[in-house]
Amino acid sequence: MQQFLEADQRSESDKPQIVIDQREDQLFDDYFQKYGAIVDRRVLSVGDFLCSSRLCIERKSRADFEQSVIDGRMFSQLPNLVANYERVVVIVEGVLDEERLSRSSLLGTYATLIADFGASLIFTRDKESTAELVYHFAKHEQLARKHPMRIYAKRKTFTISQNQRAIVESFPTVGPKSAKALLMHFGNLENLAKASENDIAAVNGIGKKKAKVISNVLLYAYDQDEDKFSEL
């Protein structure tokens, strides 16, 4: 409780910023804000939490971690993570009642993740302990080490078309499927930027609500004061 009271009394410049992927549980917002972090939700192209320009965290439940090893997702996600961030942390959260992988397969995966990809692997009990750990990573990176926040992945290894999709995916409410639909419909970013709200709404799967949000982002005048927490 004392920690939370002290967090409320800090100035904005003394609070780390944590960027959360839109698909993560809303509970994380509550936990981070109690610790005194500034929370920013985005559709992230890689990772689940960003703690600085160099540190990205991928969170998986134990069941999802095992499934991602079985279906190969873990080994397609890791190259993107390490290509874009200097420090990558994989958090495996919770207790699995019944393991679907043998001990040998799990240990081999842990070895691959750490030795081949250079990622860190940490186990937590639940969402609250995950949030506490992520908060302290962000605090260390931004306040102790003075690493700035960079919202978007570097995308060093991706094609121009993948970079275009990443830009469109960064818009609020827009995920990979909607981004592809918009780019297929308009052909390029210039045509999307010039499109009216009604034209955007006409794209399959977008509709009026998403179109209004997208149009607002495209037309809104940049405000430096609003952006003051993007580089801590």
Write down all domains in the chain, each with its CATH number in brackets.
2-144 (3.40.50.10130), 160-219 (1.10.150.20)
Q: What is the pLDDT of residue 2?
A: 45
Q: Are 48 and 92 in contact (CB under 8 A)?
A: no
Name the nearest CA neighbour of 151 among 227, 75, 90: 227
Q: Are 78 and 108 in contact (CB under 8 A)?
A: no
Amino acid at 78: L
Residues in the chain with pLDDT < 50? 1-2, 4-5, 229-232
Q: What is the pLDDT of residue 232?
A: 39
Q: Which DSSP letter does residue 114 get? A: I
Q: Is-above-0.85 flag for pTM?
A: no
Q: Are 102 and 96 in contact (CB under 8 A)?
A: no
CA dihedral 19, 25, 31, 36 (to 10 degrees): 20
Alpha-carbon distances of 206 from 21, 185, 211, rounded to whole Å: 20, 11, 6
Q: What is the pLDDT of residue 118?
A: 94
pLDDT digits (tens, 9 = 90+) for 82-129: 888 999 999 999 987 777 888 899 999 999 999 999 999 999 999 999
**Residue with token string 């439940």:** 61
